[in-house]
Chain A
Amino acid sequence: MKNLVNLNVNPCKMCMPMGAVSALSGIKSCMTILHGSQGCATYIRRHMATHYNEPVDIASSSLTEHGTIFGGEANLIKGLENLIDLYNPEVIGVCTTCLAETIGEDISAIVKKFYEQNPDNDVKIINVASPGYGGTQNEGWFAALRAVVEQVEPDVTQNGKVSIITPQISPADIRWLKGFLSEMGIDCILLPDISDNLDGVTEKHYNRLKTGGTPLADVAKMAGAMLTIELSEYTNADNSPAEYLHRAYSVPFVKLPLPVGVRGVDSLIEALENIGGIVTENIIKERGRYLDAIVDSHKYCAEARAAVFGDPDFVASVTRLCCENGVLPVVIATASVSESLKEALAFETEACRDFCFAGEIPIVDDSDFAEIEQLCVSMGANLLIGSSDARRISHKLAVPLIRCAFPIHDYVGGQRVRILGFEGSLNLLDQTANAMLSTTETSFRGELYGKYCVHPTKPADKTAAHPCFGEHACHNARVHLPVAPKCNIQCNYCLRNFDCMNESRPGVSSRILTPHEAFERYIKLKETLPNLTVAGIAGPGDALANFEQTFETLRLIRDYDPDVTFCIATNGLMLPQYVCDLKELGVSHVTVTVNAVDPSIGAKIYKHIQYMGKTYTGLEGASILLASQLAGIKMLADAGIVVKVNCVTLKGVNDEHIFEVTQTAANLGAFMTNIMPHIPVKGSAFEYLDRMTNKEIVALRGKCGANIKQMTHCRQCRSDAAGTLDNDISLGLREIVPPAAVKTDYSRFAVATKSGAIVDTHFGQAQEFYIYDSDGEQVSFVETRKVSKYCNSAACEDKEDRWESVIRAVADCAAVLALRTGMMPEKRLKENGIDVITTYECVENAVLMATKERGKKYVIS
């Protein structure tokens, strides 16, 4: 999973000095000096102050380049002296940094020299080796505690006390622990005690040297205690204070997990009871209240899929808490190097995932937030538990974050976070349940609305305003943004050189736009077309085969224009994967091209499909496509998205089958179907297939109308179409393309067509002409030219003007191709040197034939 081994991207850890100074701030009358350059102290003070909202005074020996060459002895001694002058501490912790360790400072020798130079000074100096590269703050924390117990003069007199050593927990948790131990009647020494020093009070006089913390005299007594309880399972012989006390002074010890969750707290109670602690009525009640509460909230907690990250002890105890309460921990990560964490939690999570029918749960160490983010995505985490550094992930993935570990930089209250004990655990569980409830609260209305309320009413609204879906919405403009070049299926009627014909007129190809360019085009259009209500992505390939581009384009537009209606066109292969995203993006209309609902017919239409990195052909490919289409349409309909199903009718292939297609579409919840004639494209597999006549199509639509609403006004527009259906202004939008090498041998034709595919319009009825050039081999589309209708039935007063307009529009053409022409117009055209060809033919072929038939006659030199 982890793909970066040398580059840490967004660290989930800090360095050893951070942990060392944090631990030492729990020693009474102790000041700390970092031996190294002053940035370490400054950065650490800054970070601790932000978390604890307290003054954090950490001195620095302020080593400069001079010190790196001649050693830092003078600086450190001067630093110690000044620190004593200004703060008069009883204890000073000297912690090293990368710099001191790299230049090989001998701290013991320097300290010895300091005592020699200051014989009257009785400050106790504790030195901690804490190079920044030596580990995380967790290792620094225990290195400091270990140094404290090792370097304090021991008092081995048996005192019957219990020593308790904690990993880094909040001041509030320490405060709770003290109260709890006292309630159980345990005479204890708590190491360290940061409860007052890092969560201070406002008093009349501010005391620079803080007054709380574990006195060194108490630390000395740890050597004579009856038991050490180390609330950490991840210390080792080298850094465990408990193991040291055992080895040096034979103090028995036990390592327990943090008292989090029933089992965590119970294990501490049990250990304390064994040494004479009293389980009070109050504790029993608290336990009962805790159980009562988790029964009450387990339903909500059980919806959580949590990513837990941080120090090993925190991660382990929170993971157990999760497992106890039905929260499925789906990502477990620590930045420390800790193989044992994996072992410890594998068993724990196994039971939980069996219960939740979940797969493998990743437990990773030496991790960073880049990896945690990846895992959150792949595991579908819906909750983050840890420090505030995951706020970026939280923001990016829109997943709530419970901030309950150091450091918390964007919220207040880091010092008051409570996770220990029954109440602390409950605090965390309540936050978990409430995070889930909040997610539900903010989404369920929308979901229900989408499910039960939108379908009958909303499509009417939105659809009525959609120029393609509502017949009476032709006044509304739409723009198709050609951002999706790739296609993941090969249809036999399609030639890849051109735009997909599912939605677009064949024979033309659009220049691909980047999402940002598309966005700019939208803004530009919106300025000139106030009636622009719809933005669509219809290729030139498949919108969902280019999901990144589609997503980004729609996201940009949505941010700019919240009222926009989105539609996309797709073959449906990737629909099931993306329906949720489409819904979230606010796509309200989707066109799915379904040419067959029987794989054996589909196999004739689709040459191959590409799915999940593999190519499938024949029956197999058609089956996969069909399954995706059917599931996708159902999901869209369920999500309240209006679905139009396009059917390309192929004579002799699926024309008999279209009825079934429309029936299936209706059953799945589609809103309408659009039965389109197949337009043969030269070079495609179905090049020679017979065309359906208009009449046949109309008849078919009539028949299928019994199943589902039919679209009758399709203009098979381009994938970069813009404007209203009847006034495509897209050509004006395209960047000026430098003219191709000038061809001398070509003829120009004006075609009267409504569909743009077939010469299907009466000359006098044409509102626009499609201008094509051809050299007898190739046919290329030039532009459309608008004219006033010549024959406007009754009110034909300005006939002469209209004539002028028509003649002007076609003046540079050799001939006009139309379905029919009146006598007069033919005469007038011929007077202007323009031929008239009447035909009913596919545009491309008609133009080609005209060129060949008329030979060189039309060649413009």
Chain B
Amino acid sequence: MIDREKLLDKYSAKVYKNRKDHIIQLEETDEARSIAANTRAIPGVMTARGCCYAGCKGVVVGPLKDVCVITHGPVGCGFYSWGTRRNKAKPDEHTDKNFVPYCFSTDMQESDIVFGGEKKLEKAIDEAMELFDPKCIMICSTCPIGLIGDDVQAVARRAEEKYGIKAIGFSCEGYKGVSQSGGHHIANNGVMRFIIGTGDTQPKTKFSVNILGEYNIGGDGWEEERILKRCGIEVLNLFTGDASCESLKSAHLAHLNLLMCHRSINYIAEMMKTKYGIDWLKVNFIGVGATCKSLREIAKYFNNSELTMRVEEVIADETAAVYDDMEYYKSKLTGKTAGIFSGGSRSHHYQVLLEDLGMKTVIAGYEFAHRDDYEGRVIIPQIKEDADNKNIESITVAPDERFYREVYTEEQIAALKAGEQGIGLNSYDGMIPEMGAGDVVVDDYNHFETDELIRLVKPDIFLSGIKDKYSIQKAGVSSRQIHSYDYSGPYAGFNGAVNFGRDVTMALYTNVWGLVTPPWKHEPMLVGSLGGGE
């Protein structure tokens, strides 16, 4: 409790009143584990949050490799979201269309703001068609677009008619909602409404899955795919790392949805459950233990003895292969403490990996998570809608006549979920249950709080993003970027766990920290002898 009080102490009364509900320090009992989240950031406190556009373009639709994503607005937004997420992609075979390395912007000027930008956008689409001939175009709006009244959806419709392609307009103006989260939701709606369900490429096997909320940072998704493939599980889509619009069209034909990042994509998982009857399973492929657990849950879902056997074989083989490395890093890291600040999922995922390495997470926080990411989906009915949330459209879907199919009945699902060995089908328990007494949980963390927590708690390593990295290091604490992995990765799966162990060990054992204090500071500044003594 001490840490929390000290942390809040600096704030003015007004800010204190707001922040006290976003910062909790866990106690032994299950009480006081509720947290305020997904509310407006306080101006001027250096929040780590980004904007709605960042969530829609930067996170969800940006990685779609066969889509020409045009940022409609001034040039900055497109530039700043260009290739910064390290979502790896390889072009699909039989096509040379890979737009991931590109940035397309309408580069609006003052006159476009005054006279409207629709015409420019239409011409930009003409140019994009002529030069790049994409099968799908997405238009992402920046702040001025909604204000000057450009109708990107109408432009998209006209482009569809003119070129016979798929074109989707997203009204993801930066100011919408309270964080990137609103942008995720808007992107989810568009993908669900216009893409999923329009294809008919059948899975090749009877164990086919989509991995939702996997952005393939540093190749995470590929490591996951490798493991699943070994088990005989077919991965149809990574949403949206290394994903293509073409393949997403048939995502509804999968047998099961695996959910990595709950925050950014749970809307699609839920809607696909309603519309197509596809169950979803919250998985975590970060950490050896977590990966094994997730694989076993998938096997349990498919309930096929051959598959179960293969999964166990793969687990035995893979864990044996990384055992020595993991044991070595564990010997170096046991007892160390960590803090993690991330977007909306990783702070939970990485706790399990840190645990594999004998480390304890004592501070965890999210930029834009909702209460269900902290407290579990059971809390959803209690979340109050506010004006900001209402601004983000929430679409409802109905069972699809053609494609709706239930694998299991309600009773069977209940049976799968029941008991100690039950699997978390169609549910998520959140991050807080993973954490222990004394641990600090912060929602919508800001620069000041990060600095203060480091001072107060002094973890051995702090995992966060580039904006925090250098102040963390200036405070004398090791830092690793948990968004982009500092050009490293993958961190997922078995091989990823080893990579992570190596990176953290390197960070903690660098001899730089030992050199910070110069030798002359240890020695007396003046050397002399007492007078009279000979």
Interface, chain A (partner B; CB < 8 A): 3-11, 13-18, 33, 36-40, 42-47, 49-50, 53-68, 75-76, 78-83, 85-86, 97-99, 101-103, 131-134, 136, 200, 202-204, 206, 208, 368, 392, 409, 514, 516
Complex contact A64–B40 (CB within 8 A): yes
B251 part of interface (Cβ distance < 8 Å): no
6 closest A-B pairs by beta carbon, nearest first, are A39-B51, A15-B76, A79-B44, A79-B43, A82-B44, A43-B80
> A7-B70, A39-B52, A42-B54 in contact; A59/B43 too (CB < 8 A)?
yes
- For this complex, 23 residue pairs linking A to B, each with C-beta atoms less than 8 Å apart, are A3-B127, A4-B131, A8-B107, A11-B103, A16-B76, A37-B174, A37-B175, A38-B49, A45-B467, A53-B470, A55-B468, A56-B467, A59-B44, A60-B44, A63-B175, A64-B40, A65-B391, A80-B44, A83-B45, A98-B144, A99-B143, A202-B474, A514-B94
| CB–CB A14/B80 < 8 A | yes
User: Of B108-116, B308-316, B357-365, which stretch is located at the interface?
Assistant: B108-116
A78 adjacent to B447 (CB under 8 Å):
no
Whether the pair A14, B76 counts as a contact (CB closer than 8 A) is yes
Q: Which residues of B contact A514 (CB under 8 A)?
A: 94
Whether the Cβ atoms of B44 and A7 lie closer than 8 Å is no
Contacting pair B103 A9 (CB below 8 A): yes
Q: Least Cβ distance of A239 to chain B in Å?
A: 15
The reply to whether A50 and B474 form a contact with Cβ atoms under 8 Å apart is: no
- The answer for the CA separation of A617 and B186 in the assembled complex, in Å, is 62
Q: B304: CB under 8 A from chain A? A: no
Q: How far is the CA of A56 from the CA of B468 in the complex (A)?
A: 9
Q: With the chains together, A119 CA to B10 CA distance in Å? A: 22
Please state if A83 and B44 are interface contacts (CB–CB under 8 Å).
Answer: yes
CA distance A67 to B81 in the complex (A): 24
With A6-B123, A64-B388, A67-B175 known to touch, is A132 a contact of B470 (CB < 8 Å)?
A: no
Q: Tell me whether A39 and B50 are in contact (CB under 8 A).
A: yes
Contacts A53-B470, A78-B44, A99-B147 given: A11-B79 contact, CB under 8 Å?
yes
Alpha-carbon distance A56/B466, docked complex (angstroms): 10
Residue of A nearest to B42 (CB): A82
A46 to B466, Cβ gap below 8 A?
Answer: yes
Determine whether B32 belongs to the interface, using a CB cutoff of 8 Å to chain A: no
> Smallest Cβ distance from B18 to chain A, in angstroms?
10
Question: Which listed residue, B47, B93, B128, B516, touches A38 by the CB 8 Å rule?
Answer: B47
B179: chain A residues at CB < 8 Å are 38
Task: Decide if B15 touches A38 in the complex (CB within 8 Å).
Answer: no
A14 to chain B, nearest CB (A): 5
Chain A residues, CB < 8 A from B44: 33, 59-61, 78-83, 86
How far, in angstroms, from A206 to B516 measured CA to CA in the complex? 13
- Report the bound CA distance from A86 to B447 in whole Å: 10
CB pair A13–B79 under 8 Å, yes or no, is: yes
| Cβ-neighbour of A10 out of B47, B73, B103, B469 (below 8 A) | B103
Q: Which residues of A contact B124 (CB under 8 A)?
A: 6-7
Known: A43-B81, A79-B44, A81-B12. A7 touches B128 (CB 8 A): yes
Chain A residue at minimum C-beta to C-beta distance from B146: A68
A7 touches B54 (CB 8 A): no
Kindly state whether residue B303 has any CB partner on chain A within 8 Å: no
Q: How far is the CA of A14 from the CA of B78 in the complex (A)?
A: 9
Measured between beta carbons, the chain B residues less than 8 angstroms from A516 are 93-94
Q: How far is the CA of A85 from the CA of B125 in the complex (A)?
A: 47
| Assembly CA distance A697 to B266 (angstroms) | 76
B231 contacts chain A at the CB level, 8 A cutoff: no
Contact status A54-B470, CB under 8 Å: yes
Question: CA A56 – CA B470 in complex, angstroms?
Answer: 9
CA distance A98 to B113 in the complex (A): 9
Chain B neighbourhood of A80, CB < 8 A: 44
CB-based contact B143/A85 at 8 Å: no
Q: What are the residues of chain A within 8 A of B123 when measuring CB–CB? A: 5-7
Task: Give every chain A residue within 8 A of B470 (Cβ-Cβ).
Answer: 49, 53-55
List residues of chain B with CB under 8 Å of any chain A CB: 10-12, 14-15, 40-54, 70, 73-82, 84, 93-94, 101-110, 112-113, 120-121, 123-128, 131, 142-144, 146-148, 173-179, 387-388, 391, 447-448, 451, 465-471, 473-476, 516-517
Chain B hits for A17, CB < 8 A: 76
- B42 and A6 contacting across the interface, CB-CB below 8 Å: no
Nearest-neighbour CB distance to chain B for A68, whole angstroms, equals: 6
| A102 & B113 in contact (Cβ 8 Å cutoff) | yes
A499 to chain B, nearest CB (A): 25
Assess the B75–A75 pair: CB atoms within 8 A.
Answer: no
Q: Closest chain B residue to A519 by CB distance?
A: B93
Distance, CA A14 to CA B103, complexed state (A)? 12
> Which of A39, A67, A85 counts the most B-chain CB atoms under 10 A from its CB?
A39
A46 partner residues in chain B, CB cutoff 8 A: 80, 84, 465-467
How far is B120's CA from A82's CA once the two chains are assembled, in angstroms? Answer: 40
> Which residues of chain B come closer than 8 Å to A45, judged between CB atoms?
467
CB distance A57 to B447 under 8 Å?
A: yes
Which one of A9, A101, A516 has the greatest number of beta carbons of chain B within 10 Å? A9
Distance to closest chain B CB from A6 (angstroms): 4
**Chain B minimum-CB-distance residue to A92:** B44
Most-contacted residue by chain B among A16, A42, A68 (CB, 10 A): A42
Contact B46–A57 (Cβ < 8 Å): yes
B49 — which chain A residues lie within 8 A by C-beta?
38, 42, 62
Report whether B112 and A133 are in contact in the complex, using a CB–CB cutoff of 8 Å.
yes
Q: Do residues A37 and B466 form an inter-chain contact, with CB atoms below 8 A? A: no
- Bound CA span A200–B101, Å: 32
Q: Do B471 and A98 have beta carbons less than 8 Å apart?
A: no
User: Distance (Å) between the CB of A252 and the closest chain B CB?
Assistant: 33
Rounded to whole Å, the gap between the CB of A406 and the closest CB of chain B is: 12
Given contacts A59-B44, A79-B44, A80-B44, contact A8 B104 (CB under 8 A): yes
How many angstroms from the CA of A131 to the CA of B52 in the assembled complex? 19
Q: Which residue of A lies closest to B174 (CB)?
A: A37
From B54, B74, B81, B120, contact of A6 by CB (8 A): B120
Max chain A Cβ within 10 angstroms of own Cβ: one of B42, B43, B175, B448: B43
Are A37 and B143 neighbours in the complex by a CB distance under 8 Å? Answer: yes
| A15 near B42: Cβ-Cβ < 8 Å | no
Contact (Cβ within 8 A) A99 B174: yes
Contacts of A15 on B, CB cut-off 8 Å? Answer: 74-77, 79
Q: How far is the CA of A50 from the CA of B144 in the complex (A)?
A: 27
Q: How far is the CB of B428 from chain A (nearest CB, A)?
A: 27
**Pairwise interchain contact B73-A98, C-beta atoms closer than 8 A:** yes
Contacts of A203 in B (CB 8 A): 474
Of the candidates B75, B173, B474, the one whose C-beta lies within 8 Å of that of A13 is: B75
Shortest CB distance B431–A (Å): 22
Say how far A346's CB is from chain B's closest CB, in angstroms: 26
How far in angstroms is the closest Cβ of chain B from A408?
A: 14
**In whole Å, how far is A114's beta carbon from the nearest beta carbon of chain B?**
12
Q: How far is the CB of A350 from chain B (nearest CB, A)?
A: 31
Question: Do A44 and B78 form a contact, CB below 8 Å, given A85-B15, A99-B143?
Answer: no
CB-nearest residue of chain A relative to B180?
A39
The interface residues of chain B lying within 8 Å CB-to-CB of A392 are: 101
Question: Are A38 and B109 closer than 8 Å at their CB atoms?
Answer: no
Minimum CB–CB distance from A12 to chain B (whole Å) comes to 9
Q: Which of B43, B94, B102 interacts with A75 by CB under 8 Å?
A: B43
Taking the closest CB of chain B, its distance from the CB of A45, in whole angstroms, is: 5
* Alpha-carbon separation in the docked complex, A46 to B147 (Å): 26
Nearest A residue (CB) for B515: A202
Asked if A98 and B143 make an inter-chain contact with CB atoms under 8 angstroms apart, the answer reads yes
How many angstroms from the CA of A9 to the CA of B70 in the assembled complex? Answer: 9
A134 and B110 within 8 A (CB): yes
Q: Which residue of B lies closest to A99 (CB)?
A: B143
Measured CB to CB, the nearest residue on chain B to A13 is: B75
Q: Identify which of A36, A63, A86, A409 gathers the most chain B CB atoms within 10 Å of its CB.
A: A86
Q: Given the complex of chains A and B, what is the CA–CA distance between A7 and B105 in angstroms?
A: 6
Interface pair A14/B174, CB less than 8 Å apart: no
Q: Could you say which residues of chain B place their CB within 8 Å of the CB of A64?
A: 40, 175-178, 388
A43 adjacent to B43 (CB under 8 Å)? no
> What residues of chain B lie closer than 8 Å to A200, measured between beta carbons?
474
What's the nearest-Cβ distance from chain A to residue B187, in Å? 15
Q: Collect the chain A residues with CB atoms within 8 Å of residue B103's CB.
A: 8-11
Nearest B residue (CB) for A514: B94
